[in-house]
Structure 1
Amino acid sequence: MSTAPATAAIPGYLAGTWRADPDRCEVAFSLRYLTFGTARGRFTGCDATIVTREEPRASAVTATVDVASIDTGNEKRDKHLRSADYLDAENHPTMSYRSTGIRRSADGWTVDGELTLHGVTRQVPLAVEPDGFGPGPSGGQQAGFTATARIDRRDFGITARTDGGGVLVGNKVSIRLLVRAALVR
Structure 2
Amino acid sequence: MSANTLSTAPVRDRGGVQLPAPGTWAIDPGHADVAFVGRHMVFTKVRGRFADVSGAVRVADDPGESQLEVVIGMSSVESGLRARDEHLRSAELFDVEQFPTATFRSVTVDWAGTAGTVTGDLTIHGVTRRVPLTVVYEGYAKDPWGGERAVFSASTTVNREDFGLTWNVALEAGGLLVSKEISIEISVETVLQR
- State yes or no: 1:179 paired with 2:181: no
Letter in 1 for 2:183: S
Kindly provide the CA deviation profile for residues 134-177 of structure 1, in whole angstroms up to 9, marking residues without a partner as x: 42232121110000011000100101122879622101100011
CA distance in 1, matches of 2:118, 2:89: 28
Kindly provide the CA deviation profile for residues 69-119 of structure 1, in whole angstroms up to 9, marking residues without a partner as x: 000011111000100111111111000000001003699300010000010
CA distance in 2, matches of 1:175, 1:10: 27
Which residue of 97, 102, 109 maps to 1:90? 97
2:170–2:176 CA contact under 8 A, matched in 1:
no
Q: Runs (4+) of structure 1 moved beyond 4 Å?
A: 163-166
1:134-153 equivalences under 5 Å are 134-153=141-160
2:41–2:176 CA contact under 8 A, matched in 1:
yes
Residue 81 of structure 1 aligns to a residue whose secondary structure is: helix
**Partner of residue 114, structure 1:** 121
**Partner of residue 53, structure 1:** 60
Select the structure that is richer in helix. 1
Matched-pair identity in %: 36
Which residue of 178, 183, 186 maps to 1:169? 178
CA distance in 2, matches of 1:36, 1:107: 34
Number of equivalences? 181
Letter in 1 for 2:52: G
1:72-87 equivalences under 5 Å are 72-87=79-94
CA distance in 2, matches of 1:164, 1:172: 17
Select the structure that is richer in strand. 2
In structure 1, runs of 5+ residues without a counterpart are none
Residue 57 of structure 2 aligns to a residue whose secondary structure is: strand
Residue 18 of structure 2 aligns to a residue whose secondary structure is: coil
CA distance in 2, matches of 1:68, 1:52: 29
Letter in 1 for 2:106: S
In structure 2, runs of 5+ residues without a counterpart are 1-11
TM-score, scaled relative to structure 2:
0.86
Between 1:157-166 and 1:27-36, the stretch displaced more is 157-166
